Amino acid sequence: MISSQEKLLGVLAYLGPFFVAPFVKSKSSFCRFHANQGFAFFLTLFVVLILSGISWILSLLLFLAYLAVMLYAMFQAYQGLMWKIPVLFDIASKINIMQLADGWTVTAADSKQDDQLKQ
């Protein structure tokens, strides 16, 4: 059974990369699934909007499509389902979000190394 906290974290995963880092180390496969997919979805939006910068109408239509899919994915996560976004899921499954999150963590040893490099 998926807890209400896991469902909430699954919903938050689609709001961009800022919500991925705090819970990505969760042992829950449900949370990791939505974190991977949400991160890949956000990256896709970023790339598509840059490539479609030529036309504001195309950008608007793509953003509205993104918003619709994002809301549906959030609803599915809230229901406790692991809905796979077509095509994007294949890309998301190849991203190791755990490894990316480890790169976001600064430890005391890293800070000491940075201080030594500055000297």
Domain containing 20: what range?
4-118
Q: Which residue has the higher pLDDT, 66 or 95?
A: 66
Give the pLDDT of residue 37: 86
Cα torsion 56, 14, 73, 86: sign: positive
Please count the structural domains in the chain: 1
The pLDDT assigned to 102 comes to 58
Q: Using alpha carbons, select from 69, 77, 100 the residue that is nearest to residue 30.
A: 77
Fill in the amino acid letter for 57: I
Query: Count of alpha carbons within 13 Å of 107, Cβ hemisphere only?
Result: 6
pLDDT greater than 60 at residue 2: yes
- What average pLDDT score do residues 45-72 get? 83
